[in-house]
Amino acid sequence: MSLLVCSGAGTQCTMGLAPATLMVLPLSGVSSGGGPPAAHIGDHLPLVNMLPFGLCRSPANPVVAAATAAASGTLTPMPCIPNTPAPWSPGATTVLLGGQPALSQASQLSCLWAGTISITNAGQTNTSVP
């Protein structure tokens, strides 16, 4: 069983230095047990759904690469701006929200800067899916 995810869920990127919070716009009208809006796999837009993870330490990030080159090759983390063009995967197998699979705590998201984003806290505990 995996918990459904809602707005306010905790997230962490393998290349980020700080946790972040998932933001879900109340467009679908579906909430998690009367609480915050529930998330689906399409809730992956940078700076809308995906907030920065503090500093990014990925050399694949052009800003980090430039700062590292300027520091004579010493890895220099720079502010994180997630680059997440593809949806979360996998989604819940039995629950659709707005025609898309609901986001479950087992879902992960890839950042183009080589990070893997995972859910650390679903943001609610009332609803679960198989």
Which tens digit of pLDDT belongs to each residue from 46-71?
Answer: 999 999 999 999 999 999 999 999 99
33, pLDDT greater than 90: no
Confidence (pLDDT) at 123: 87
Q: pTM surpassing 0.85?
A: yes
> Percent of the chain, pLDDT > 90?
75
Statement: residue 18 has pLDDT above 70: yes
6 closest CA partner among 33, 112, 19 = 33
Domain boundaries, the chain: 1-54+81-125
What pLDDT is attached to residue 23? 96
